[in-house]
A and B are shown apart, each in its own frame.
Chain A
Amino acid sequence: MLITCPYCGPRDVIEFTYQGDGNRERPNPASQDLEAWNAYVYDRLNPAGDHNEIWQHSGGCRAHLRMVRNTLTHEISSVAFVRGAAANTKSGGKP
């Protein structure tokens, strides 16, 4: 599998670390809503098809990427920096 890092270009999957379901919302740090915390930590979307997920280019620029990848075909339909693509464009595409 090749992942096209917006910074480094197409690279082999071996350079990346999977960070899981990208749909999870971390509760406000001060929140005492245990259910929300539990859902954030433990409950994952796990679709058969397109999945919104976070990867880290750990063997490269180490940026975190938000990807839409099909879990049935492994085809990747979009890759972007988690830290807002717009902001990165301004700073010359560097994370």
Chain B
Amino acid sequence: MAEYSVFSLLKNALNGNRDWKPAWRKPDPKASYDVIVVGGGGHGLSTAYYLAKEHGITNVAVLERGWIGSGNVGRNTVTIRSNYLLPPNTRFYEHSMKQWENLSHDLNYNVMFSQRGVLNLAHTPAQLDDYARRGNSMRHQGVDAELMTPAQIKQLMPAIDISGNARFPILGGLMQRRAGTARHDAVAWGYARGADRRGVDIIENCEVTGFLRDGDRITGVTTSRGEIRAKKVAVVVAGSTGRVMQLAGIDRLPIESHVLQAFVTESLKPFLDTVVTFGMGHCYINQSDKGGLVYGGDIDGYNSYAQRGNLPIVEDVMSEMLAMFPSLGGVRLLRSWGGVCDMSMDGSPIITKGPLPGMYLNCGWCYGGFKATPASGFCFAHTIARDEPHELNAAFTLDRFHRGILIDEKGQGATPRLH
């Protein structure tokens, strides 16, 4: 398949764009594969890509119930950052960040990773100390971070309200300049195309309806397009983990599925060059290249697979956004949507071998999975190929909850709605 470049664009334009080929093939499933990846989201596609690229395992099928990227990779608010407090998270997300920094070239697909910075606003001295602790934790692991003063923040985003009259005045912020945003759909498509070019079969409209077993061992799946056998079956369906694992007879996991809403305004001329989060509550906002302000807030806070949220969160998020940017009252909300998140019991993910023989599980991304897409696939592919975790995901086990080795970034314990 042709490389994408400005030259291929020109050449094809002269041809009336008639010679472009599908970005990925639409193969029928084979009877068996070395590895089946259940889930054609960002993480599933990147897992397949790194299985092929890093481990030479190309006899791989990615099975997607609908169209690839239809889950959370296509529904998130595209923030990419590694500004975590706890070392297992910082290390993992920083690895992801480094992958992002070269991802467009790696995939020969412009994922539009824009390192425009992520700023967390602090509103109390205690919060500023908390951010300092986090920023210093990052700095001690070689990750960039800096504290900003209100005046510096005002310079960066002139419309922000730094007046002392605000209900929660802005006292400063924690900035990670290498953080930023990417074009979410492009990530799914780029990984799909990259995996496909290496021989992976991406099979859409193929819903897994059950697991084939030999005793305890998983030996394949039954699907809406027939039985498919595999030496290894990797489940990477964040948002649907409960449903899919139930097909394997596992109906209890340290996960609740919650709906998270996201919002976009009508398109505006450049207004905000940085990703910014409000510290008293939970609102994050960036401006897409098309000009829409893309933002979100808390999860609705109850189990849901409906991809549909309710009104109170809408009102809450808007009021937080206007607390930051009081000039936006007349700007209009264009669209809202919901995504279903695997909320884990400590707010951190699970990338592990098991829990059944022949099975591998990648889930529990809460609402931070998008930024992890490269590292998640990289580590999961390693775990599948080598039957042992990469050092980066060694802490993200399923048994850590029972053992009490928690990675609780927010210190909320087993209350998923608070992570």
Contact = CB atoms under 8 A, between A and B. Distances in A.
Q: Are A and B direct contacts in the complex by CB distance below 8 Å?
A: yes
A26 interface: no
B401 A53 contact: no
A38 interface: yes
B266 interface: no
B401 A38 contact: yes
Given A43-B252, A44-B255, A72 B306 contact: yes
Nearest to B299: A18
Contact of B308 (A18, A38, A74): A74
Given A35-B402, A46-B253, A47-B242, A72 B310 contact: no
A39 interface: yes
B256 interface: yes
A21 B402 contact: no
B243 A48 contact: yes
B305 A42 contact: no
A71 interface: yes
A20 interface: yes
Contacts of A69: 302-303
A20 B251 contact: no
Contacts of A71: 257, 303-306
Nearest to B243: A48
Interface centre among B240, B256, B415 (most CB of A within 10 A): B256
B24 to A, nearest CB: 28
Contacts of A43: 252-254
B254 A18 contact: no
Given A51-B303, A71-B304, A74-B304, A45 B251 contact: yes
A44 B254 contact: yes
Interface string A29-51: 00000110011011111111001
Contact of A42 (B240, B246, B414): B414
Interface string B220-262: 0000000000000000000011110010000111111100000
A14 interface: yes
B312 A12 contact: yes
A73 interface: yes
A61 interface: no
Interface centre among A42, A46, A74 (most CB of B within 10 A): A46
Interface size class, chain B: 20 to 34
Given A43-B252, A46-B255, A71-B305, A20 B402 contact: no
B301 interface: yes
A69 B301 CA distance: 14
B345 interface: yes
Interface in B253-280: 253-257
B416 interface: yes
A8 interface: no
Interface centre among B254, B302, B308, B417 (most CB of A within 10 A): B302
A44 B417 CA distance: 13
A13 interface: yes
A1 interface: yes
Contacts of A55: 302
Contact of B401 (A13, A18, A42): A42
Contacts of B302: 13, 18, 53, 55, 69
Contacts of B416: 20
A15 B303 CA distance: 17
B256 A46 contact: yes
A74 B300 CA distance: 12
B414 A41 contact: yes
25 contacts: A13-B310, A14-B312, A18-B301, A20-B415, A20-B417, A21-B256, A38-B401, A41-B345, A41-B414, A42-B401, A42-B402, A42-B414, A44-B254, A44-B256, A46-B241, A46-B242, A47-B246, A48-B242, A48-B305, A53-B303, A55-B302, A71-B303, A71-B305, A74-B308, A74-B310
| 8 closest cross-chain pairs (CB), A and B | A46-B242, A14-B312, A43-B252, A38-B402, A18-B302, A42-B401, A42-B254, A48-B305
Interface of A: 1, 12-14, 17-18, 20-21, 34-35, 38-39, 41-48, 51, 53, 55, 69, 71-74
